[in-house]
Structure 1
Amino acid sequence: MHQTVIRRVIFLGLVAIIGIVGMQTYWVTTTWNLNDTEFRNKAKLALVNVARKLAAENESTLPNDDIIRPQSNNYFIVNIESEIDALRLETLIQQELIRLGMDLPFEYAIFDCTSDQMAYGGYCQATSEEIEPEKLEDEESYLAPDHNLLYYFGIKFPTRTGYIWQKMQLVVFLSVILLLTIAFFIYSIIVILKQRRLATMQKDFIDNMTHEFKTPLSTIRIAASVFQRDEYIAADSRLSRYAQLIHQQYERLNNQVEKVLQISRIEKGNFEIKKEKIDLKALLPQLINSVRARTDELAGELDTHFSDGPMPVLADPLHLSNIIHNLLDNAVKYGGNPPKIEISARRSKGQLILAVTDHGPGIPPELHERLFEKFYRIPTGDVHDVKGFGLGLFYVKQICRAHGWTIRLNSQPDKGTTFLIQIPLLSTSSLPAPQLITT
């Protein structure tokens, strides 16, 4: 994953988190305010009804205004301008709270004009049963008087906050889920950044290692060439075979190193594709002859089927040669024992269909998508008869994508494998100028 992609993911993730947290905060705040407003309105309605009933029983009248005087969020003073019976008051408060669905504890006190203080009544539930579990502290049970009134009582709801939170259980639950989701996202970003750093270190190490291999490989190539040209070594069959073996192993190792370097350039986006008009028919014989030598050594077969006439395409000759060589090399490796390979090129609706087929064990359908992944190799258990890094098909896929070509895979277990590349054909009369495309 490129650094710019990671930055975009982090930026968009942070924007999403800020937006979601903002919406959730707004939702929680709005829900709290709605429940708080509902609590205040119900409390006032219950206390007004209590005041009216007390006034009716005392055959007195209520003041025209300021019947309910809120002192805080959970403390209200009720002005009734008539004497109050404590037991009757407690019963009426309980009845009104139950009627309005406010089943929560309350404290009440009645103003005593003889002492000029609030006479504490008790800590009760909105039921007929009074609570006496533990005595409240003086500061908690203190209900402040209002010196501007004469006959009034005060009621306090000490569990108002818990009551509102209880009504917001769903909101709280969803908020906790949101926080856990955000924490998981942050943890995932940390893991991604850590894995990115480790992957970068690993890639840099591989790049440096492969570059360091180039110098000794060049030395081995020169030494092998000198050995093969030496008359004394050429006259000795055993030494000649050793010199040839050294050269073959050099070619094998050099090909693997070149694959790693090519993949590295592709991933960094600094490799160049130099497209030019070429005749695929003129390019294929050299590649086929090099592979035919290998199939002959293994007593295999290599058949070719080409349409008549030239096959002009717009492509990078080097990369086109490499992907054809990779497909043929895979066919030799996995084409059975002995390998039986077919390569064909035919025209179809202005397209050139290049196909490489082997008659090997085939590939299960569930592995088709992963076959073009970097470093992926088909599982073979503990048996590793075929050596390689799993880079060949990844390279083929990237080069086809860079050219705008389509590559497909047809394979079934025990029925062989066919790779098809669809390349646009050029007109034989047109001769476009070479163009340089940086990918």
Structure 2
Amino acid sequence: MNRVLLLLGHPGNRRLLETWMEGDYDVVYPGTDAGFNEPFDLAILDASAVASSGEALQAAKQASDPVFLPYLLLAPREQAQWVGRHLGQAVDELLWTPIDPAELQTRIKMLLRLRQQSLALNQHNDELEALLEARRAVEQMKDEFISIASHELRSPLSAIKMYVNMVLDGEVGPLNEEQGQFLQIAEENTERLNQLVNDLLDVSHMTSGRLQCQVREIDLGKEVPQTCANLRVLGDHKHIQTEVMVPPEPVVVLADPDRVEQILTNLLSNAYKYSLEETTVTVCVSHRGEVAQVDIADQGIGISEADQARLLESFFRAETVRNSRISGTGLGLYITRKLVELQAGEIWVESALDKGSTFSWTLPMATAEGEVSGPSTSA
């Protein structure tokens, strides 16, 4: 049963309301244990009550916040000027006297319904906040685990790789052909695991906001061809040709050269990995107004339109990629997107099944004064 506080100086109004509300509401009064000392759902008051108990009424409203605590004022029309000063501040609703019982019930039900809705909304918000807090705690635990596990894996991986390379180099004696093949497989998988550890560390730093970019002026017209030359070997076993096109003039951007190389490495590695044999991977650098754009196009298996929408999410792998049995974690493109966005750029893909894919990304051009043109972002 809803609890209604009657704070009325006029004895006739008090007796009338007691009669009308009896049995339908739990009526309480100020000055008793059930008054201001206990919660109530609605206060019905008159001008004398507002004048004498204004501070207590305001304190009760503040204590109820953010839940709505309604105050209904009963006043004669002669007090219209006074009501105008207090309506919306000390009180929420007005009913002129003499009182119409049907109108009073309508106002009471309306105000109590608003309070119940406010209570339900507040409870929902509390539950939602608890869920968000729990999710934040889980995300923090996950990030901490990834960070700790990645760091703990790095040392033994480095040792394994070092000793495998020493054996492959013949530092502990000659190897027969089969032994060399086995060790070569071990070395390749150690490198894959090392790359996974690096990817997990990058993701951990990104989600915690600890990944930073050391930006400076770089010429994509030089950086891109150099990185492409270093990575051509990845396509040699499939006889993939690489075409690099850059404009004759410098394409100077403000970016982190190491992160630009990481972006190029991720995208070019994918292009070679998913391209068909004896095809061409094309890399094009161009000006696009206030940004420089790099397009990396392959003639590979392509990506469905449905998968393109989620392609740059973490741990997502397109259906065509999963069916190809080519290994991967689904982290490379997510990390690439984050690195591009961290440097105030954009990245997108255009693709069709069995027709290849083109990954395009931009970086803001540097002005003559060494500032980024267009909107600026901080790392």
Q: Same fold (TM over 0.5)?
A: yes
Amino acid in structure 2 at the alignment position of 1:175: R
1:421 correspondence with 2:373: no
Task: State the Cα distance separating 1:181 from its structure 2 match.
Answer: 1.9
Task: State the Cα distance separating 1:353 from its structure 2 match.
Answer: 1.8
Distance of 2:322 and 2:362 partners within structure 1 = 36
Amino acid in structure 1 at the alignment position of 2:270: N
| Residue of structure 2 in register with 1:318 after alignment | 258
Superposition pairs of residues 36-435 of structure 1, within 5 angstroms:
38=97, 41=99, 164-165=104-105, 168-230=108-170, 236-336=176-276, 340-349=280-289, 351-379=291-319, 383=323, 385-426=325-366
Does the C-alpha gap of structure 1 residues 346 and 238 become closer, same or farther in structure 2, counting only changes over 3 Å?
same
Task: State the Cα distance separating 1:411 from its structure 2 match.
Answer: 2.7
| Alignment deviations for residues 7-48 of structure 1 (CA, whole Å, 9 cap, x no partner) | xxxxxxxxx9966534x52469967862xx65x5458xxxxx
1:25 correspondence with 2:70: yes
Distance of 1:213 and 1:17 partners within structure 2 = 53
Conservation of the 8 A alpha-carbon contact between 1:357 and 1:418: yes
Q: Secondary structure at the match of 2:134?
A: helix
Q: Secondary structure at the match of 2:245?
A: strand
Q: Flag structure 1 segments of 5+ consecutive residues without an equivalent.
A: 1-15, 44-101, 103-162
Task: State the Cα distance separating 1:186 from its structure 2 match.
Answer: 1.0
Amino acid in structure 2 at the alignment position of 1:21: V
Q: Secondary structure at the match of 2:358?
A: strand
Does the C-alpha gap of structure 1 residues 42 and 259 become closer, same or farther in structure 2, counting only changes over 3 Å?
closer
Distance of 1:281 and 1:221 partners within structure 2 = 35
Q: Secondary structure at the match of 2:148?
A: helix
Conservation of the 8 A alpha-carbon contact between 2:291 and 2:363: yes
Q: Flag structure 2 segments of 5+ consecutive residues without an equivalent.
A: 1-61, 75-90, 372-376
Does the C-alpha gap of structure 1 residues 179 and 343 become closer, same or farther in structure 2, counting only changes over 3 Å?
same
Distance of 2:128 and 2:264 partners within structure 1 = 41
Q: Secondary structure at the match of 1:278?
A: strand
Distance of 1:350 and 1:322 partners within structure 2 = 23
Task: State the Cα distance separating 1:382 from its structure 2 match.
Answer: 7.5
Q: Secondary structure at the match of 2:325?
A: coil
Q: Secondary structure at the match of 1:397?
A: helix
Does the C-alpha gap of structure 1 residues 189 and 231 become closer, same or farther in structure 2, counting only changes over 3 Å?
closer
Distance of 2:73 and 2:298 partners within structure 1 = 65
Does the C-alpha gap of structure 1 residues 204 and 31 become closer, same or farther in structure 2, counting only changes over 3 Å?
closer
Task: State the Cα distance separating 1:341 from its structure 2 match.
Answer: 2.3
Amino acid in structure 2 at the alignment position of 1:356: I
Distance of 1:325 and 1:228 partners within structure 2 = 26
Task: State the Cα distance separating 1:325 from its structure 2 match.
Answer: 0.4
Conservation of the 8 A alpha-carbon contact between 2:271 and 2:298: yes
Task: State the Cα distance separating 1:214 from its structure 2 match.
Answer: 0.5
Amino acid in structure 1 at the alignment position of 2:336: V
| Residue of structure 2 in register with 1:114 after alignment | none
Does the C-alpha gap of structure 1 residues 254 and 28 become closer, same or farther in structure 2, counting only changes over 3 Å?
farther
Amino acid in structure 2 at the alignment position of 1:276: R
Does the C-alpha gap of structure 1 residues 214 and 339 become closer, same or farther in structure 2, counting only changes over 3 Å?
farther
Distance of 1:275 and 1:227 partners within structure 2 = 40
Conservation of the 8 A alpha-carbon contact between 1:271 and 1:438: no
Q: Secondary structure at the match of 1:372?
A: coil
Distance of 1:393 and 1:17 partners within structure 2 = 50
Conservation of the 8 A alpha-carbon contact between 1:17 and 1:182: no
Conservation of the 8 A alpha-carbon contact between 2:70 and 2:111: no
Distance of 1:42 and 1:322 partners within structure 2 = 77
| Residue of structure 1 in register with 2:83 after alignment | none
Task: State the Cα distance separating 1:372 from its structure 2 match.
Answer: 2.4
Conservation of the 8 A alpha-carbon contact between 1:410 and 1:419: yes
Does the C-alpha gap of structure 1 residues 244 and 284 become closer, same or farther in structure 2, counting only changes over 3 Å?
farther
Distance of 2:63 and 2:230 partners within structure 1 = 58
Q: Count matched residues.
A: 297
Task: State the Cα distance separating 1:240 from its structure 2 match.
Answer: 2.1
Does the C-alpha gap of structure 1 residues 177 and 359 become closer, same or farther in structure 2, counting only changes over 3 Å?
farther
| Residue of structure 2 in register with 1:89 after alignment | none
Conservation of the 8 A alpha-carbon contact between 2:143 and 2:207: no
Conservation of the 8 A alpha-carbon contact between 2:281 and 2:298: yes
Distance of 1:325 and 1:240 partners within structure 2 = 28
| Alignment deviations for residues 71-117 of structure 1 (CA, whole Å, 9 cap, x no partner) | xxxxxxxxxxxxxxxxxxxxxxxxxxxxxxx7xxxxxxxxxxxxxxx
TM-score, normalising length from structure 2?
0.66
Does the C-alpha gap of structure 1 residues 266 and 199 become closer, same or farther in structure 2, counting only changes over 3 Å?
closer
Distance of 1:41 and 1:293 partners within structure 2 = 91
Conservation of the 8 A alpha-carbon contact between 1:228 and 1:244: yes
Task: State the Cα distance separating 1:250 from its structure 2 match.
Answer: 1.8
Task: State the Cα distance separating 1:185 from its structure 2 match.
Answer: 1.2
Task: State the Cα distance separating 1:258 from its structure 2 match.
Answer: 0.8
Does the C-alpha gap of structure 1 residues 318 and 382 become closer, same or farther in structure 2, counting only changes over 3 Å?
closer
